[in-house]
Amino acid sequence: MFMESINEFKKDHPKFIGARYIHSIYRGVTTEVMKASLKEIVEMKQLFPDFIAGFDFVGHEEEGNSIEYYRDSIQEATKHLKFFVHAGESNWYGHTDLNMIDAALLNASRIGHAFGLSKHPLLAEMIKEGNIAIELCPISNQILMLNQDPRNHPVIPLMAKNFPVVICNDDPSLWGATGLSYDWYVVFMAMTPEGAGLEVLKQFAINSIRYSAMEDCLKKEAFEKWEKYWDEFLDDIILSDSERM
């Protein structure tokens, strides 16, 4: 159903590159259930290699099991799947931070939230050197009361140090989020320097492609398309400015 919907959408929207599926597993299951779930998604990856991207954990991190708890099953699965994991999604200073360490050691493609990463400078450098992207979800962080004012978000210092950051929305179906525009707006208006302009938005767009789950050949196609549309966007802005003058 997912794949059919994507193909139908692509027919009506030629600018659309495609979509990938990241399988989510609840972090409260037993090791036996985790092993069986990962085995199943590996088999699905073999059947649909261009659609299945990898896996992630979902659920309240403070109450769920750690990544280390599932280490045997995960280490086997990472031979076949990429790892996109929610880790450090807490404003507490404690055991959830260890999940970020394990995510880095497992060479995750992206880390969801990493809200506590700024408390661990050595780990932060390790993640930056590994080119592991941080998924920034500002509206989710505010709704879940991790951060009340996005101007004081702990990811801001990481962005200032040129960490790879991608803007995402978390659990969008729960509150009816429509696309990423709202999260982009919050980040741009509240979490970037006052004098920041289009160059910041351009970098966020580039990061979205660079750290996506697409294959390299498809990323190349996406960049070529995006650069074309970006140039057209700039031409439209310049034209509209000249008409107003």
89 belongs to the catalytic site: yes
* Choice among 23, 86, 113, 153 that is catalytic: 113
> What's the rounded Cα separation, in Å, for the pair 23 and 54?
6
129 belongs to the catalytic site: no
> What's the rounded Cα separation, in Å, for the pair 228 and 234?
10
* Choice among 61, 86, 89, 153 that is catalytic: 89
Tokens of 117: 């990463």
Helix (H) or strand (E) holding 83: strand 82-87
What are the b/e assignments for 66-81, b being 16+ CB within 10 Å?
bbeebeebbeebbeeb
Q: Tally Cβ neighbours within 10 Å of residue 213.
A: 17
> What's the rounded Cα separation, in Å, for the pair 46 and 61?
30
Active site residues: 89, 113
